Structure 1
Amino acid sequence: MTGGLALLLVAQAALWPEMDPLVQKGYDHFYNLEYPEAIATFQKAVEAAPLDPNRRNHLAQAVLFSLMFRAGALETEMVTGGNPFLRRPKMEPTPAEETLFENALNECSRLSQALLAENPDDTNALYAQGVALGLRGTYNYLVKKEWLDSLRDMTAGRKLHNRVYELDPTNIDALMMQGMHDYVVGSLPFAYKVLGFLAGFHGDRQQGIRTVQIVAEKGKYNRVDAEILLGIAARRERRPGDAVQICEKLRSEFPRNFLVLFELSQMYADLGDKDNAWSALDRVEELKKSNAPGFQSLPVERIEFARGNLLFWYDDPDAAIVHLRKATRRAQALDPNSGVTAWLRLGQCLDLKGRRAEARAAYRSAIQYWPASDEAKSARKYLDKVFTTNEKRAMSG
């Protein structure tokens, strides 16, 4: 599923009117990982209704998720066990991407404020302004690494959506940001929670999940985002059975989204169901070979990495090495997260087989691939220290 901590931060932006075919088409591309097509379609939607602030948010959201997808940040692997995403190097947009994102949000703010000047209780304008703040806050953190500004924006966005719900209690979609905000702040380490307290919110993970569940059941426009967030939370909180059900549902809704099948494999692996975990990867490979829509551009190395990583966790380092060698043969085709992890896993598997010289070469490749990553930090440690079975058991928790 399109998951990750970043998704927790911005899973409130999909307000797409059912009667607008351009916006619907844009989000069909969006949820199927076709971000260039989504961006182009949302640009057309903006041109068709230039005074609608929501359309500027749709465009900004597509740009932001395109950046996250390119960085390999849209996977729940990023939010399991601690908060590794909080330590990720910042993303690097192109100047054109940065300009497109900033212009879209600035114009959304201008249009919303003009509507609010005429009617301070305009719920559509309040909602659009809140989404824009949430997107800007996420961008400030992921791209600029400005945590305080990010928290300030997100908190302001939540307050605006609280106001929307006060004015219109039938607007269940307005609860999405509240639930998301409660869950994120409640999931952060203590030092970050202090910042949340200073901003006026303690955060409550369980309350956040209950709120998001309401949106998933009764929401009109944010239902899909609520389901995605529930799936992320289920995996993070080690409820893979719940996550499998959500993944299966999303798979039927968005058949061109290959990440859903990768996530499904990981969820089955978490359940201890190796056969179904492997079958999900077989399905990805079948769709890739048949040139199924959405799978043509998927690098075969990504499938090999997933197979190797699965076999690593299932204590089969010999078989894992075969797949990880294939994955790293053209590691530049992988996203940064998958690429650096593939090299690290290869080194660890080689260490488990006593092939120390080869393991150290793989660790050096991991460091070179993404020097600032946590995986590179681990690789530096294992240059001087053999990775052992006991350490692997400790990783499994």
Structure 2
Amino acid sequence: MMNHRLRSPCALALIWVLLFGLPLTERAEQKSAPRPTDAQQELFDALRRRAFDAFYNLDYETAQKLFQQIVEELPDHPAGYLYLATQVWVGELNRTRRLQTSIYSNPSFYSRTGETVDPQVDQQFREYIQKAIEKAKARLAQNEGDVEARYFLGAAYAVLASYEATVARQFMAALKHARRAVSEHRKVIKQQPNFVDAYLTIGAYDYIVGSLPLWVKLLAALGGIRGNKERGIKELQQAAERGKYVSDDARVVLIAIYAREKQYEKALELVRYLRDRYPRNYYFPIEEAHLLVEVGRKREGFAAFEAMLQNERFQEVGDLIRFQYAQLLAEQGYRIAALHYYRQVTEMPTASPQLVTLAHLRIGQLLDLLGRRQEAISEYQLVLDRENVFDSHRQAERYLRRPYTGNE
């Protein structure tokens, strides 16, 4: 089976926007924009800390209540609306099982197929993000030098880019908004060089552009798009080490980058730090298991997946854990074991419908590799009977015509 984990630069770009996190800033000096009183600032900081802890532990209901309270306490500040938009976006990714980075390093994700977005989710997200943009622009209209407002404006465009890329799968719109986000954050650094939180977006952008193939970089340079891998990593390390609020977000991006650069021990160190800090977040144990296999510690990686399957905290995402485990087993050549866990996904009543479709497709591919052609054909037909996920129908039709060989 093809290994799709963290290989292509375009996939890394989507990993960046997916893992952008919740942007926050320090209080900046302002001339005319209304500033919170000391009591309001103290309450804001307390609410933010509690909301972040809930958010990173995937307790979206608690996080939403706390973000709403921020809106009520500071109605003219973009923060509350930005966090509410982010909660809607990441909550939808969790529901559709798109929080795992391997989704974005699979070429199928970028296929030109229509994406059906829940209208209620889409409307709610766009209302919140538009409010955040409006609040930030209103402050900038009062004072163009308001660094905090400019940071939040860039952060809002970054989250909008993230949503367009990962939920709506509108990649050109995502690119446009991402460039606006980076532009605003470069202005922040120019105004206030020690505003290291802004290096999260800038560093990710520099790394991604610097990772592009040479011919793509040359074309990008003609359009004024330039980057540098080494500089991007250093900027992200700054954000991780010195950022007041985005240090964990920067660590998450660095995990993806270190894995891509085959610096697996560095990635493991960050994963374990975040795993211990946010014990209810399934993302970090899954990444740890994959990384253990990458460094040649297969038994430990497989044991980590088995432990997750027994962990009561992760029962709600048992479908995703089984799917990821099956994918890892298939990549390592354990086809029969992979079939077992993919089949478990298809048999779970509460499994994500999208994952079930993809599991049927993977089962068909594995059966083809095992020489069980008639069984494989049945699986491809099941895929066609279900809703199209990325390019699952196109793939199923292709492999109905000729067996999957693993060389595609």
| 1:298 and 2:317 matched | yes
1:222 Cα deviation (Å)?
0.9
Shift in CA distance, 378/275, structure 1 to aligned 2, threshold 3 Å = same
What is the identity, as a one-letter code, of the residue corresponding to 1:24?
A: R
What is the identity, as a one-letter code, of the residue corresponding to 1:97?
A: V
Counterpart pick for 1:354 among 349, 364, 371:
371
Counterpart pick for 1:315 among 310, 333, 343:
333
What percentage of residue pairs aligned between the two structures are identical? 29
| 1:364 and 2:381 matched | yes
Q: Which runs of 5+ in 2 are unaligned?
A: 1-10, 27-40
Per the alignment, residue 326 of structure 1 pairs with 344
CA distances 1:302-327 after superposition (whole Å, capped 9, x unpaired):
33333333332232323332322222
What is the identity, as a one-letter code, of the residue corresponding to 1:313?
A: E
Compute the RMSD of aligned alpha carbons. 2.9
Cα separation, 1, equivalents of 2:217 and 2:360: 34
Normalized against structure 2, the TM-score is what? Answer: 0.82
Normalized against structure 1, the TM-score is what? Answer: 0.85
Higher relative contact order at CA 8 Å, sep ≥6: structure 1 or structure 2? 2
Cα separation, 1, equivalents of 2:374 and 2:21: 49
Retained in 2: the 8 A contact 1:4–1:74?
A: no
Per the alignment, residue 30 of structure 1 pairs with 55
CA distances 1:216-244 after superposition (whole Å, capped 9, x unpaired):
12111110111000111223334333322
Cα separation, 1, equivalents of 2:322 and 2:176: 41
Shift in CA distance, 341/242, structure 1 to aligned 2, threshold 3 Å = farther
Retained in 2: the 8 A contact 1:196–1:203?
A: no
| 1:53 and 2:78 matched | yes
Per the alignment, residue 135 of structure 1 pairs with 159
CA distances 1:304-358 after superposition (whole Å, capped 9, x unpaired):
333333332232323332322222123761362x333322222233223322211
Deviates more, 1:224-233 or 1:276-285: 276-285
1:123 Cα deviation (Å)?
0.8
Shift in CA distance, 145/283, structure 1 to aligned 2, threshold 3 Å = closer
Shift in CA distance, 107/315, structure 1 to aligned 2, threshold 3 Å = closer
Alignment of 1:202-221 (within 5 A): 202-221=226-245
Q: Which runs of 5+ in 1 are unaligned?
A: none
Shift in CA distance, 90/252, structure 1 to aligned 2, threshold 3 Å = farther
Cα separation, 2, equivalents of 1:242 and 1:374: 34
1:296 Cα deviation (Å)?
4.3
1:69 Cα deviation (Å)?
2.2
- Give secondary structure in 1 for the equivalent of 2:202: helix
Cα separation, 2, equivalents of 1:376 and 1:240: 35
Retained in 2: the 8 A contact 1:309–1:342?
A: no
| 1:272 and 2:280 matched | no
Shift in CA distance, 95/311, structure 1 to aligned 2, threshold 3 Å = closer
- Give secondary structure in 1 for the equivalent of 2:194: coil
| Alignment size in residue pairs | 381
